[in-house]
Amino acid sequence: MGKQKNILLIMSDEQRTDTLGCYGNPRAHTPHLDALAREGGYFENCITPYPLCCPARASLWSGALPHQHHVVANWFHIREDLRAGGMVQDFANAGYHTLYVGKWHVPGTTPQRLGFSRRDAVPAVLEGRDRGRYIEDYRRYAEAKGYPLIPGNIENLTPNDETKRIGGGAVHCGTSDIPLEDYLETWQTARFLERMAECPEDQPFFAVCSYNAPHFPMLVPAPYDRQISPEEVLLPDNFCKGTEGKPGEVMNSRDYLDTKDFTEEQWRSLIAHYWGFCSLIDDQVGRIVRWLKEQRKYEDTILVFLSDHGDMIGSHALNHKSGLMQYEETLRVPLVMRGPGLADMGRKEMIVSLADVLPTLAGLCRVPIRKAEYGQSFAAVLPDGEDHFRSYAVSEGFANCHNGNGRYEDPRRYTAGENRPMVLAIRTPQEKYIFHQADIEEYYLLDRDPGENENLAKRPEVKERLRTLRQLALRQLEDTPALRRLAEERMRQLD
């Protein structure tokens, strides 16, 4: 059988694809990730199952869609029978040393319960919520260094950081008071490499380093705060456009209202800081790659870089992410893979889901794992260059569910009166269909309108196609009759 391959998964938070040079951004400063993409390949159409942290991460580790694993929004607990064991445990059972460092954000369980034998720098749970930057070891480190962190502040802000807001509004943007040498991501990489050095030499490793950046607030340490000038920013073709025809529940959300009065100059500053934040992550990837090479583990390691979801950050004049906004900027996430058996794959256009990643790694390493409810392995189609895998991917969202406070809800028991309207998106190679249970439908032809500026759902010529896409959306709910009935009721009205 030969030597078993190591697996190293590096994860960022809230990073859209166009922050990387390999995805076509000539202004991006991501040389390390671009080099990995050249050695292996990158996936143009990796779709998150829910453009929000907790549901997306629960899908990554469970291989299930959100309505299946029950993390219907941030801080809602995962389904009880998925809280222990799972695919990570299958890797451990196959002889892997399993390690998790950094942001977790899968409510209702822990890295240990899911099969990670070692963990470090995992955020504290405050009031039932796993808070991404609030790592108690790091806060003690920063305070010992003399940084006056605001007590209980989940973003590790200093009093001066708290004042750095665009126009005095809700959005933070500026240079962090904490310099690079003591910044959270720098500290976390050092902790990760310390734990990697402790991995047993007689076992392959399955290691995860999960960063919080480039998640807002955009308080970025120098020199990354000025690495990209606002004037250099290439604005997308849907920058502050395409707002007509969007659902009211999107355009009345805080993700629009908080930033609707931004000037182009303010948007450019925010985007430049965001891209700089992504460059910081790229340099952390570079540190990890150097360590692997120094330890002579690089050639035996499958290295994966991905994110949980993207960020609108000016597209359609929107900011941040949510289950309501199933647009390309939040739905598509970077997926870069390199390692043994993955050389020179190049740009892969096949549609894959974040839920497919663990089944695929198991397939590449010949690790027997339990069957996922949604995720599938695309390992078999990689060596021969075949780009066809899924004909479409699914993403979900649930409105008015964004304050879970560490509780559990079973979506199989939802009723129309509970005000839990769902959003279902079907992403095919050429089109996007978005069903809003409480609002209008959306339909975009991506080959003609990649920026999703024109909602075609009311056009008579697409009526039959919408019927087909509605049925595809309903097919995903066959295992949850209560949700299917709610969706069918609304679809009958739409039809």
| pLDDT number for residue 132 | 85
Output phi, psi for 436, to 5 deg: -110, 115
Q: Where is 280: in which H helix or E strand?
A: helix 264-294
DSSP 212-236: -TTSSSEEE-TTTTSSS-GGG----
Asked whether residue 178 carries a pLDDT value surpassing 80, the answer given is: yes
| pLDDT number for residue 37 | 98
Closest residue by Cα to residue 326 from 439, 188, 409: 439
Q: Is residue 11 within 8 Å of residue 209, measured between CB atoms?
A: yes
Alpha helices in 145-183 (DSSP H): 159-162
**In the 8-state DSSP scheme, what is residue 448?**
T
Asked whether residue 150 carries a pLDDT value surpassing 50, the answer given is: yes
The span from the first CA to the last CA of the chain, in angstroms, equals: 56
Question: How far apart are the C-alpha atoms of 379 and 389, rounded to whole Å?
Answer: 10
195-231 residue pLDDT tens? 999 999 999 999 999 999 999 999 999 999 999 999 9
Q: Residue 2: pLDDT band by 50, 70, 90 thresholds?
A: low
Q: Is residue 391 within 8 Å of residue 469, measured between CB atoms?
A: no
Question: How far apart are the C-alpha atoms of 492 and 467, rounded to whole Å?
Answer: 10
Q: How many C-beta atoms lie closer than 10 Å to residue 256's C-beta?
A: 19
| pLDDT number for residue 402 | 65
Least confident piece of the model among 328-337, 394-403, 433-442? 394-403
pTM of the predicted model as reported, rounded to 2 decimal places? 0.97
Instruction: Say which residue the tokens 């397939």 belong to.
Output: 363
Question: How far apart are the C-alpha atoms of 174 and 163, rounded to whole Å?
Answer: 10
**In the 8-state DSSP scheme, what is residue 315?**
B
Q: Residue 403: pLDDT band by 50, 70, 90 thresholds?
A: low
Compare 416 and 209 and report the one with higher pLDDT.
Answer: 209
**Max alpha carbon distance in the chain (Å)?**
65
Instruction: Say which residue the tokens 């998790």 belong to.
Output: 100
Q: Residue 1: pLDDT band by 50, 70, 90 thresholds?
A: very low
Total residue count of the chain as it appears in this document: 495
50-88 residue pLDDT tens? 999 999 999 999 999 999 999 999 999 999 999 999 999
SS3 7: strand
Mean pLDDT of 336-365: 96
Torsion angle of alpha carbons 341, 358, 36, 432, nearest 10°? Answer: 110
- List % helix, strand, coil for the chain (3-state, nearest 5): 35, 20, 50
